[in-house]
Amino acid sequence: MRASLTLMVNTDNSTGSSALPTQERDSLSSRREIIAGKLLMLIVALLICIGIVIVYSSGAGWAERKYASSEYFLWRQLTFAVLGISTVLLVALIDYHVFWKSSKIILFASIVLLVILLALKTVGLISGAARWIGFGPVKFQVSDFAKYAIIFHFSKLISEKQAYIRDLHNSYYPLLILLLTVVALVALEPNFSTASLIAIIGFALMFIGGVSIRHLMATASLLIPIAAVFAIAAPYRVARLLSFTSGNEKGLSYQVVQALIGLGNGGLFGLGIGASKQRELYLPLSYNDFVFVIIGEEYGFVGAVAVIVLFAGFFVCGITIAKHAPDNFGKYVASGITMAITLFAFVNIAVACHLLPTTGVALPFISYGGTALLFNSLGVGILMSISRHKTKTLEKGAFPDIIDGTRA
């Protein structure tokens, strides 16, 4: 299993590629990476455009009711879409190794912010879930920041520890402690779904990086029961689980019922743009967590599948960039970012289709939310940077210690 997964990011699977001269193989690899980078940018642009249209369509009624302007969500989403595209283009010009140098600081900052949130909640300055930090309109979810912090620092540590990556005390325990620290802090916000996804990303990076499968399985056997107990400790999470396992409509939650009605309304080709019935104040968060329902209702099965295909294309492009990255750090960062974005997309779509219990996970690039869009745009910019800087990095011999997997 490990061999098949690492093969995706470590080798060129083209027939007979090993028989080609080195220069020819490098040229072929570069062309594939350039194509993957350009296709990735096209896919992201399409997803952002879809997001603008769908957020306006699904959120107009809610915006009119809450902000006295049906275009409130439209202009905010459009503003952050422009900022997101600008972020992608700007970050793509930066050498991604800057995150190698600053990964420890970024991770430390994310942990401090998570602790501050919990402290503010403890003293009563934050009521309910302690997820957002900032002032006025400038706020962001710290868990989004922590997710990327884990990807950056894990990629650095796994690259540095390649020579002894299977060592329990010098490799696995330090990685595990860092991951569980972030996961526990996010879970205590509480944000169990995001904490679980960050844990999956961290363990997946360790798996790809060569950590002993025995260590990972032993840890999973201990953590899964603990996570299960934590999941049923909150009444609202128990209600969601009971709703998910209910065998009849009466047992389903209101959100799930309205989501299934919306998807059913769409049929094969949908009701048409702006013709959704569920968006008219029937489906809560129709512009955010359940935005995929509006896509299915207005554009039908065909439109819903098209969005899924775009995310599948994103995954393939991201893995291609990871596979041809110039060094281990780039390979792991690209793998982590690709997994993070596609995993969140999969969970959101699965929840909308009642394949998973209801969670508060947004659909990347499409759901309403400015800072989430900017963080995902940052990730795409880094993927583009890894794609662009391959030849340049190798020619200059930059970071040879990262390429070899050891520190000089």
Of 9, 31, 8, nearest to 20 by C-alpha is 31
Before 190, cis peptide (omega within 30)? yes
Alpha carbons within 13 A on the beta-carbon side of 329: 29
- Same domain, yes or no: 106 and 213: yes
Q: Compute the mean pLDDT over every residue in the chain, rounded to the nearest whole number.
A: 86
* Per-residue pLDDT, 301: 96
287 located within any domain: yes
The token duo for 249 is 């409509």
Given a cut of 60, whether residue 3 has pLDDT beyond it is no
Q: Which domain holds residue 184?
A: 98-233
Describe the crossing of helices 328-352 and 142-160 by its angle, rounded to 10 degrees. 140
Residues 126 and 258 in one domain: no
- Answer whether residue 136 is part of any domain: yes
Assess whether 259 and 221 both reside in one domain: no
Is 204 in the same domain as 274?
no
Of 233, 266, 293, which closes a domain? 233
Among the three residues 233, 266, 282, which one is the final residue of a domain in this structure? 233
User: 4 in a domain, yes or no?
Assistant: no
- Residues 206-263 have pLDDT tens digits of 999 999 999 999 999 999 999 999 888 888 888 888 888 876 766 778 888 889 999 9
Q: How confident is the model over 82-97, as pLDDT tens digits?
A: 999 999 999 999 999 9
> What is the number of structural domains in the chain?
2
Could you tell me the pTM of the whole model?
0.89
Q: Which two tokens stand for residue 25?
A: 């193989």
Are both 238 and 379 inside the same structural domain?
yes
Confidence label for 17 from pLDDT (cuts 50, 70 and 90): very low
Distance CA 175, CA 155 (A): 10
The first and second tokens of residue 306, run together, are 């098209």
Residues 243 and 392 in one domain: yes
Residue 141 inside a domain? The answer is yes
Q: DSSP character for 134?
A: E
Residues 378 and 245 in one domain: yes
Structural element, H or E, at residue 342: helix 328-352
Does residue 268 share a domain with residue 145? no
The percentage of residues in the chain with a pLDDT greater than 70, rounded to a whole number, is: 86
Would 168 be classed as within a structural domain?
Answer: yes
Rounded Cα–Cα distance for residues 16 and 11 (Å): 12
**87 inside domain:** yes
Q: How far apart are CA 298 and CA 229, in angstroms?
A: 39
Domain boundary among 233, 250, 268: 233
Q: 278 and 346: one domain?
A: yes
Residues 146 and 103 in one domain: yes
154 with 196, same domain: the answer is yes
pLDDT per residue over 150-174, tens digit each?
A: 999 999 999 999 999 999 999 999 9
Question: pLDDT tens digit string along 124-136?
Answer: 888 777 788 877 6
Instruction: Specify the pLDDT at position 87.
Output: 97
Q: Is residue 402 part of a domain?
A: no
Residue with tokens 């490990």: 2
Angle between helix axes 328-352 and 291-323 (nearest 10 degrees) is 160
pLDDT at 313: 97
CA gap 129, 190 in Å, rounded: 6
For residue 270, being part of any structural domain is answered with yes
Note whether 391 and 261 are same-domain residues.
yes
Gap between the Cα atoms of 290 and 363, Å rounded? 8
3-state secondary structure of 254: helix
Mind listing the pLDDT tens digit for each residue in 264-279? 999 999 999 888 888 7
